[in-house]
Amino acid sequence: MSLKAELDNAYASFQQAAPAAVIETFTTGIQDLHKTFDPSKAIQAGQTLPTFSLQDATGTPISSTTLLANGPLLISFYRGSWCPFCNLELRALQNHLPEFKAAGVTLVAISPQLPDSSLSMAEKNALEFPVLSDIGNSLARELGIVWTQPDSFKPILQGFQIDWKKSYGDESFEVPIPATILVDRDGVVRNVFLDPAYTARLEPGTALEWVAAL
């Protein structure tokens, strides 16, 4: 099954299970994001990825310089371990990890969640690639992909038992717009997938086509 089919199934299940008011709140929030988000201000192919040093799930700093020394990077920015669509995307990438490794590409997942939450994410999905913490969305902000979620989302996410302060270390309610970025070994961005719709993600097969074109 394709990742899109899995995402569509997950969204259909959500629509069947969630109250109409919840669905309307999320739909309105995403519609507003579509109206206000300017993708031309986000990171573009041909630009150089800003250098970074982020903690992995064990709290160890990992730098972009160290990662790029091993070859190209495929970076997935995700919202958090509470997002079912993020979980599906990262599991799909994990399933194709041998193919990315064979092509000499390092997979990296990045979210603003603290290392403890990143560790839970990695363990839950049996991820064998680095999961890094972009605390405060510092890197995502440089890339132009940060979204401050509307206050109307707060009671809904609290109802999902999400402790924002504990998971993120702040109460900014900011998340990255999910994005997948391919960076060559010289640190130059070669491809970008970015969609404000939180159910839209890049197919791993398409990412592998990007890699083949490097």
Query: CB–CB of 196/31 below 8 Å?
Result: no
Residue 117 confidence (pLDDT): 79
Residue 55 confidence (pLDDT): 95
How far is Cα of residue 138 from the mean position of the Cα atoms in its chain?
A: 14
- List, for the chain, all residue ranges whose pLDDT scores fall below the cut of 70: none
Report pTM: 0.94
Residue 162 confidence (pLDDT): 87
Structure tokens of 99? 């193919």
Residue 121 confidence (pLDDT): 76
Residue 131 confidence (pLDDT): 95
List the chain domain ranges: 3-212
Residue 182 confidence (pLDDT): 98
Residue 6 confidence (pLDDT): 96
Residue 146 confidence (pLDDT): 97
Q: Where are the alpha helices (DSSP H) in the chain?
A: 3-17, 20-36, 64-68, 84-95, 97-102, 115-124, 138-143, 154-159, 164-168, 204-212
Instruction: For 165-181, write each residue's pLDDT tens digit.
Output: 999 999 999 999 999 99
CATH code for the part of the protein at 3-212: 3.40.30.10
